[in-house]
Amino acid sequence: MTRLELPALRHEADALWGFAERQFNLVKRYWAWEVLWLFYSLVSVLSIGYLASGLSLAGFSARDFHRTQLYLLVGSLLWSYLSSVFTDVSFAISWERWEGTIEYTFMAPVRRLTHLLGICLFAIVYGLLRSAIVLAIAIPLFKLDLSRSDLLAASAVLAAATVPLVGIGILAAVLPLLSPEKGDQMAMAVQGFLLLVSGVYYPLSVLPGPFQVAGRLSPLTYTLSGIRDCLLNGHHLGDMLPTLGLLLAMGAVLIPGGLVVFGWAEGRAKQLGLLKRSG
């Protein structure tokens, strides 16, 4: 690397951190709403946990009950994290438009990859923090036994899953660019479809054929399956190598693909004047 390249690299690194810091400042400004969303995430996870507890009244054996409870809680907690990252990335454009900074951001001498990765960096860290708080509350409430789980392998699957999730988030961020009025609702519809087909609360085998095909194309399906194998069945890191490879390969396709589509949508939005706050 030449000396001329180092200042440019430092500039991009500073910009990436700057975008992540700006997202943090937005959260700090609207902290009351963030407390509300944290409460919503907690209630959602606990509701699923108590749903599983209610199954014990239906004659389940103790072993089946605990596996079912952990199965549902893992799905709910992971969905809380994954949907948090997805939402923060996909709604980034809406935040920019609402704050009135979108035109300045898109005119700034910063690579679009740097801009979007800065937002993703904050979304991942913040999503992990929220999920850790929810998990810390859920473990003592439901007396979860993770003694036979491989937490290292589960963490590796989660880290690999973040790569394709970022790609999906970038693709969803295109929707508010294309439609200032209805883009957010379209992004929520995409999130709802992923919830339906990714096996969050049930195995794919219960779905109709076309939905099973869609589920096999979703990286969230392999994330949930892999982490459940690590936590419920004690699978180790070596067992997860195929899943890790698949998730990283999906990310290698989704992130560049998302950037290409985002670049096209950005050009169209500028041409049609869709960047302004009023749409």
Q: Give the pLDDT confidence of 235-251 residue by residue, as tens digits.
A: 999 999 999 999 999 99
Mean pLDDT of 54-78: 67
Written as one string, the DSSP assignment of 83-131 is: HHHHHHHHTHHHHHHHHT-HHHHHHSSS-HHHHHHHHHHHHHHHHHHHH
CA atoms within 13 A on the CB side of 74: 29
State yes or no: pLDDT of 57 exceeds 50.
no
Structure tokens at 258: 């998302």
Q: What is the average per-residue pLDDT within 101-111?
A: 78
Sign of CA dihedral 229, 230, 234, 235: positive
- pTM, full prediction: 0.76
Angle between helices 5-29 and 112-142 (to 10 degrees): 50
In the chain, the percentage of residues whose pLDDT exceeds 90 is 16
* Of residues 78 and 46, more confidently modeled: 78
pLDDT at 138: 80
Q: Are 81 and 134 in contact (CB under 8 A)?
A: no
Q: What is the pLDDT of residue 87?
A: 78
pLDDT at 279: 42
For 141-198, how does the pLDDT look when each residue is reduced to its tens digit (9 = 90+)? Answer: 777 777 778 889 999 999 999 899 888 888 888 888 887 777 777 777 888 888 888 8
| Residue, of 28 and 173, whose pLDDT is higher | 173
Instruction: Report the SS3 class of residue 216.
Output: helix
The per-residue pLDDT for 59 is 47
